[in-house]
Amino acid sequence: MTTPLEQLFVKVRGENRAALIAYLPAGFPSAQKCKDAIATLASAGVDAIEIGFPYSDPVMDGPTIQEAADISLKGGTGAAEVLSTLKFAHDAGLPAVVMTYWNPIERYGVDAFAKAIAKNGGSGVITPDLTIEESGTWQRATSAVGVNTIYVLAPSSTQERIAQVSARCSGFVYAASLMGVTGARTTMSTGAQDLVSRIRSTTNLPVAVGLGVSTREQARQVTGFADGVIVGSAFIKALLDAKSHEAGLAAIGALAKDLAIGVREGR
DSSP per residue over 164-227, as a string? Answer: HHHHH--S-EEEESSSS-----SS--THHHHHHHHHHTT--S-EEEESS--SHHHHHHHHTT-S
**pLDDT 10s digits, 192-244:** 899 999 999 999 999 999 877 889 999 999 999 999 999 999 999 999 999 99
Q: Higher model confidence: residue 252 or residue 185?
A: 252
Predicted TM-score (pTM) of the model is 0.93
What one-character DSSP code corresponds to residue 243?
S
What residues have CB less than 8 Å from 105, skipping those under 6 apart?
Answer: 113, 125, 127, 138
The CATH number covering residue 192 comes to 3.20.20.70
The sheet with strand 48-52 has its strands ordered as 148-150, 124-126, 96-99, 48-52, 19-25, 228-231, 207-210, 173-176, 152-153
pLDDT for the residue numbered 64: 80
Domain that holds residue 205: 4-265
* Number of domains forming the structure of the chain: 1
- Please, which pLDDT band fits residue 180 given cuts at 50, 70 and 90? very low
Interhelix angle for 31-44 vs 245-265, to 10°? Answer: 30
Task: Report residue 19: phi and psi, to 5°.
Answer: -85, 140
**Residue 150, beta-bridge partner list:** 126
Mean pLDDT, the chain, whole residue set: 91
Decide if pLDDT at 183 tops 70. Answer: no
Let me know: does 256 contact 263? Beta carbons within 8 Å. no
- Say whether 71 sits in a helix, a strand or coil: helix
- Rounded CA separation 130/261 (Å): 34
Which residues belong to the active site? 50, 61
pLDDT for the residue numbered 178: 57
